[in-house]
Amino acid sequence: MTEPIRVLHFADVHIGVENYGRTDPNTGVSSRVVDFLHRMDEMVDYARANDADLAIFAGDAFKNALPNPTYQREFAWRVRDLAQGMPVVLLVGNHDVQPSEKKASSIEIYSTLDVPNVWVLDTWDVFDINTKRGRVVIGAAPYPVRARLLTDERTHNKSVREIDELLLREMITRLQNMAREADRLAGVDVPRLLTGHFTVTGATLGSERSIMLGRDVQVPLAELTDDRWDYVALGHVHKHQNLTHGRTGVPPVVYSGSIERVDFGEALEDKGFCWVELARGATTWRFVPVAARPMVTIQLDCRQDKTPTQTLEAHIRQLDVKGAIVRLRLQFTPETLAYFREERVRDVLRQAGAEYISGIERMVERPERARLGISPEGLTHEELLDLYWQGKGKNAQERAALLALAREILHED
């Protein structure tokens, strides 16, 4: 039996996401963009150190399909570094492609220039590729743009729901045809890998929904668990997950997840890429985490605290916020908010090594104003005061004491 083929599987790089960043003086781009580029560097170093044979990028190179030239250059340098040691397959994702089929994707330039060792997959197709440890058959399922998969005649006078159903049937038909073609091309011993950029039924979705372009149809998992494939390398969903966990006799169907956290919705998720040892009927793989930027939320109830600033200082010192993007969510009453000193808290966070303070949310509890239920006209000053103190939650004994003091003031003359 031949040695397994070592495959790097990654996706959802999203170069250009600038949430919670500032301009980096060394590069001139957002510090958050630098974070994403550093994660790519970690991955490239790992692939080199472990002698990878093939890199599969499962889509979404940039934040959108019109990245600025600097972002294109930074991504290209890292693709070049990978391609110097192995074939690199770039699948077109929804953030890479424009809706019109006549417009180029953000990564089409690699095929236009015929960059050595780089394949851009923008159509649903099956092909084989040679690596230093052997041949691999690859099925490509780029993001299913309706205008590219369905003709105008098929969608004419159809509702949105009917078009979605047509698109799903078309995708299923193509996946089945691709599995047959892969089986024909591969023969007995050659491993087969399917890569796709779409949503699969049962996948746990996350922050990608907030930056998703267009609507999604969901492919049934059963269409991917075909034993004619040895590994299914997916992109599009940011949370790393194995959709066939615990199952035997089916290929691993794996979202590698995004390589860096996009927002606080991904704060608790591990980020990284997949390392696959691809062999016919005997594929193994593992998830390799990267040093993604930590995101920390500090929540504190200060409604009963007359020293909220000092309490926060002590709380922050107990946390590890070094290098983290930090947000604060604090509860106050109007009275306790008056004791809060924001600049002091920001100073403490900076001293603790926080990379960026994304915001301080003050949730101020406003007591409901009591409605009299009657017209105030005709009520005495004492009656009005008594109603006011009832609205403040004072009991009968407290109100009586306050009224006694009020009478002294009211009748001083």
Each residue's pLDDT tens digit, 185-238: 998 899 999 999 999 999 998 765 555 545 688 999 999 999 999 999 999 999
Contact 52, 8 (CB under 8 A): yes
Percentage of the chain surpassing pLDDT 70? 92
- pLDDT at residue 318, rounded to an integer: 93
* pLDDT the model gives residue 35: 95
pLDDT over 70 (residue 127) = yes
CA atoms within 13 A on the CB side of 291: 9
Classify residue 142 by burial, with Cβ atoms within 10 Å: 0-12, 13-18, 19+. buried
* DSSP state letter for 124: -
Choice among 120-134, 157-171, 336-350 with the minimum mean pLDDT: 157-171
Residue pair 57/88 in contact by the 8 Å Cβ criterion: yes
Cα 285 to Cα 2, 205, 288, 291, distances in angstroms? 17, 22, 10, 20
CA distance 166 to 396: 71
Mapped onto helix, strand or coil, the DSSP state of residue 265 is helix
Whats the size of the chain, residue-wise?
413
Q: How far apart are CA 205 and CA 152, in angstroms?
A: 31
Residues 6 or more apart from 170 whose CB is under 8 A from it? 144, 149, 150
Where residue 369 falls among pLDDT bands split at 50, 70, 90? Answer: low
pLDDT the model gives residue 327:
96
Instruction: Give the per-residue pLDDT at 99.
Output: 65
Q: Note the Cα 224 to chain centre separation in Å.
A: 23
The rounded distance, in Å, linking the Cα atoms of 326 and 356 is: 6
pLDDT-derived band at 101 (thresholds 50, 70, 90) equals low
Considering the chain, what is the average pLDDT of its residues? 89
pLDDT at site 214: 53
d(CA 32, CA 63) in angstroms, rounded, equals: 12
Lowest average pLDDT, out of 31-35, 38-42, 62-66, 289-293, goes to 62-66
Amino acid at site 187 = G
Q: In the chain, where are the structural domains located?
A: 5-289, 295-364, 369-413
Nearest to 360 by CA among 381, 333, 341: 341
Longest Cα separation, the chain:
108
Q: Is the pLDDT of residue 255 over 90?
A: yes
User: pLDDT category, 325, cuts 50, 70, 90?
Assistant: very high
Segments of 74-160 assigned E as strands = 88-91, 118-121, 125-131, 134-141
Q: Look at residue 368 in the predicted model and tell me its pLDDT.
A: 59
User: What is the predicted pLDDT for the residue at 374?
Assistant: 62
- The β-bridge partners of 298 are 328
Token pair 């890199």: residue: 55
Q: Could you tell me which residue, 90 or 161, shows the higher pLDDT?
A: 90
What type of residue is 257? G
Indicate the range of 357-366, 379-388, 394-403 predicted with least confidence: 379-388
Please give the CATH superfamily to which domain 5-289 belongs: Metallo-dependent phosphatases (3.60.21.10)
Quote the CA–CA distance of 190 and 30 in Å, as a whole number.
Answer: 44
Select from 239, 299, 240, 283 the least CA-distant residue to 263.
239
pTM of the model: 0.83
Q: What is the pLDDT of residues 279-313, one digit of tens each?
A: 999 999 999 999 999 999 999 999 999 999 999 99
As a whole number of Å, the end-to-end CA separation of the chain is: 108
Distance CA 302, CA 312 (A): 9
3-state helix, strand, coil split of the chain in percent (to 5) is 30, 25, 45
